[in-house]
């Protein structure tokens, strides 16, 4: 099923969110935060390696708004990194140096970052989680990579550590989006 990602003309929340992904993303981990942010009045852009249509694990597809190479992280207030097949979007995104620099920029600016399932692979590759508490999917080597990067991995529905919120998998999405929105609201008060 192709999603019609028509965007509104105004964004009352006044923030811009960036989703970094690629082909073979986990459908709900992209779609649920995307629409939750739109519903709150945020502008949400999806960035992928190319402008070609990308597909999810369960048949949804989207056309990116821009390429990862074209992202200026200074234009965004929130970074969302969904998961996907272990050999799909998360593995692709974590190998892109520009994606790593984008993640580094968000951490350097203490801007909110929300990552779920295999998404924390990017954060491990970017070297931004040393000493940080987080969670992820519990298989496919994700916890091991998080720990190797100095992250303090725990098996919890949602973990918030400063500007970072992480969750394990799709059933955690209610807690994940709740805490993601709490980080966004807190950042608006700064």
Catalogue all structural domains in the chain, each as residue range(s) with its CATH number: 16-188 (3.40.50.880)
Q: How many contiguous H segments (helices) and E segments (strands) does the chain have? A: 6, 11
58 is catalytic: no
pLDDT at residue 188, rounded to an integer: 82
pLDDT at residue 1, rounded to an integer: 53
Residue 105, SS3 per DSSP: helix
Contact between residue 145 and residue 127 where contact means Cβ atoms under 8 Å apart: no
Calpha distance 85→98 (Å, rounded): 21
Tokens of 80: 């969302």
Calpha distance 142→90 (Å, rounded): 10
pLDDT at residue 3, rounded to an integer: 56
The dihedral sign for the CA sequence 179, 43, 186, 131? positive
Tokens of 183: 């980080």
- Per-residue pLDDT in tens (0 to 9) along the chain, 190 residues: 555 555 555 556 679 999 999 999 999 999 999 999 999 999 999 999 999 999 999 999 999 999 999 999 999 999 999 999 899 999 999 999 999 999 999 999 999 999 999 999 999 999 999 999 999 999 999 999 999 999 999 999 999 999 999 999 999 999 999 999 999 999 888 7
pTM beyond 0.75, yes or no: yes
- Please give the C-alpha separations between residue 67 and each of 15, 22, 161, in angstroms, as whole numbers: 20, 10, 29
Write the DSSP symbol of residue 112. -
Q: Which of 58, 118, 130, 139 is catalytic?
A: 118
pLDDT at residue 12, rounded to an integer: 62
């Amino acid at each position: 099923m192709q999603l019609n990602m028509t965007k509104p003309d105004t964004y009352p929340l006044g923030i811009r969110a960036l989703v970094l992904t690629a082909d073979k993303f986990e459908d709900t981990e992209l779609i649920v935060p995307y629409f939750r942010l739109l519903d709150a009045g945020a502008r949400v852009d999806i960035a992928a390696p190319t402008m070609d249509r990308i597909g999810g694990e369960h048949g949804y597809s989207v056309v990116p708004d821009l390429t990862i190479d074209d992202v200026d992280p200074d234009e965004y207030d929130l970074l969302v990194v969904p998961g996907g097949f272990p050999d799909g979007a998360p593995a692709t995104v974590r190998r892109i140096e520009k994606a790593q620099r984008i993640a580094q920029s968000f951490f350097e600016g203490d801007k909110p970052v929300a990552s779920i399932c295999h998404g924390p692979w990017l954060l491990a590759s970017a070297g931004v989680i040393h000493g940080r508490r987080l969670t992820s999917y519990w298989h496919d080597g994700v916890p091991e990579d998080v720990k190797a990067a100095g992250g303090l991995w725990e098996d919890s529905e949602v973990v918030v550590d400063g500007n970072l919120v992480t969750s394990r998998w799709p059933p955690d999405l209610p807690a994940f989006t709740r805490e993601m929105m709490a980080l966004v609201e807190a950042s608006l008060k700064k």
